[in-house]
Structure 1
Amino acid sequence: MTASGPLLLLVEDEPQMRRFLRVALEGGGYRYLEAATGQEGLAMAAQHRPDLILLDLGLPDMDGLDLMTRLREWARTPVIILSARGQEADKIGALDVGADDYLTKPFGTGELLARIRVALRHADTGDVQDPVFSLGRWRVDLARRQVLVEGREIHLTPIEYRLFTTLIRHAGKVVTQRQLLKEVWGGVAGAQPLYLRVYMAQLRHKLEEDPSRPRYLRTEPGVGYRLRTED
């Protein structure tokens, strides 16, 4: 990586495609890192904080959409999907889970570099989040989906984890019931505020020292919930 431009992460398992992308990025003056699996890609994204990610959907250890979903739990890094899947439904699915652009294979070098320039121009550089969140006795590794309380790993159900990480993303701010229902349950018909009360009680039981008098997972009566960050 002798270039001095923005740092890009390639998550692609096909050696031939990696060679093509390597030549294209070197020609465009970009620095780059390579990962051949989804897990490796997540680890490198957390460690190196690339300016943009080029992501193949057909990875050997996980679907690219699953990687995209996990990445969006803690990072706003621009992502361009590179895929042989050209159906409209595939493109919509990728964009819905947070991808910024979608390129169908095969594609030309010129188009790829143009898409990269556009994504970098539109990147929200002020919204870079650390993949490790610490508060009081808590340590949450968002890249590994690991929740520790005083060094002890706590098991959260998928919904508990989505609720907790949604509050982390908005730490210190009030999140309305409507917003939580949308982000945690995805607008599923029938999702009601009662669900929030039940799952918030479960989170407090697992994470707070005194669940009946929560220090951090606070209720804002009639509005929603807030993850308190000040002691």
Structure 2
Amino acid sequence: MAQYSVLIVDDDIKLVQLLKTYFDKEGFITYTAGDGLDALLAVREKKPDIMVLDLMLPGLDGWDVCRRIRRDNDLPIIMLTARDEESDRLVGLEIGADDYVTKPFSPKEVVARAKVILRRTRKAVVQNEPIRAGGLTIDLERHQVTIGSQLVDLTPTEFKLLELLAGNAGKVFSRLQLVEQTQGYTFEGYERTIDAHIKNLRRKLEPSPKEPQYILTVYGIGYKFAGGGDE
């Protein structure tokens, strides 16, 4: 495995040290921060490959940190939260997190999820021609999406989801299939989070998110990519 770097952000010093120990054992370069402002500074200066971010931080909380990073950075983010409400998890995903872990958790699981996300986002894509549908262009080699000449900022998970759907236009995927093929694993309750990612994609890609042209809902089953204008 290539040597990756991780930024762990939490004000619980013992938890940070525990996670650092596990990431260090797996060969990661590990950076740490204890609050939101230090986290933003570390992202700019250290340029980590992935971030593990606690939501409940002093001063600038995890939600605000995630929002600020997503303005101009596609850094993969795993959120840590002590909250077990589905709405809290969905908010985290809607503002750009790629995954979440609810406390208490296994440090091994956090490291495993980080590895899956990094393999998925860093995997070299071999494809000569971009995927085009209407005014939408998905350049897999450059990992870019444009509408006309306008570049669209997607999170790594959003891009992977769009790549899967658009690369299999017309095929219907269940939520469970989308989880398995974009995340590489499944766990209870995660199927619902696919809806949050789809909502984000429609908001960013569709001329009218409430009347989507590209990503269509197949009621009772899941989603499919229509290629624009396909009903």
TM-score normalised by structure 1 residue count: 0.53
Partner of 1:121: 119
Is 2:149 aligned against 1:173?
A: yes
The one-letter code sitting in structure 2 at the alignment partner of 1:9 is L
User: Residues 34-113 of structure 1 correspond to what in structure 2 (within 5 A)?
Assistant: 34-113=32-111
What secondary structure is seen at the aligned counterpart in 1 of 2:79? strand
Q: Aligned equivalents of 2:62 and 2:25: distance in 1?
A: 26
What secondary structure is seen at the aligned counterpart in 1 of 2:78? strand
The one-letter code sitting in structure 1 at the alignment partner of 2:149 is K
1:8 is matched with which residue: 6, 21, 33? 6
How far residue 62 of structure 1 moved from its aligned partner, in angstroms, is 1.5
Q: Deviations over 1:84-117 (max 9, x none)?
A: 1121111100011110100011111221121011
108 and 69 in structure 1: CA distance in 2 versus 1, 3 angstrom threshold: same
How far residue 175 of structure 1 moved from its aligned partner, in angstroms, is 7.0
How far residue 125 of structure 1 moved from its aligned partner, in angstroms, is 7.8
Q: Deviations over 1:102-159 (max 9, x none)?
A: 0011111221121011110122689xxxxxxxxxxxxxxxxxxxxxxxxxxxxxxxxx
How far residue 78 of structure 1 moved from its aligned partner, in angstroms, is 0.5
> 1:8–1:33: 8 Å Cα contact kept in structure 2?
yes
The one-letter code sitting in structure 1 at the alignment partner of 2:103 is K
34 and 56 in structure 1: CA distance in 2 versus 1, 3 angstrom threshold: same
Is 2:4 aligned against 1:28?
A: no
Q: Aligned equivalents of 1:22 and 1:175: distance in 2?
A: 36
Q: Which runs of 5+ in 2 are unaligned?
A: 125-144, 153-202, 211-231
54 and 188 in structure 1: CA distance in 2 versus 1, 3 angstrom threshold: same
Greater gyration radius: 1
How far residue 174 of structure 1 moved from its aligned partner, in angstroms, is 3.7
The one-letter code sitting in structure 1 at the alignment partner of 2:101 is L
Q: Which runs of 5+ in 1 are unaligned?
A: 127-168, 177-181, 190-231
What secondary structure is seen at the aligned counterpart in 1 of 2:45? helix
Give the CA RMSD over aligned residues.
3.0
Runs of 4 or more above 4 Å deviation:
none
TM-score normalised by structure 2 residue count: 0.53
How far residue 7 of structure 1 moved from its aligned partner, in angstroms, is 0.7
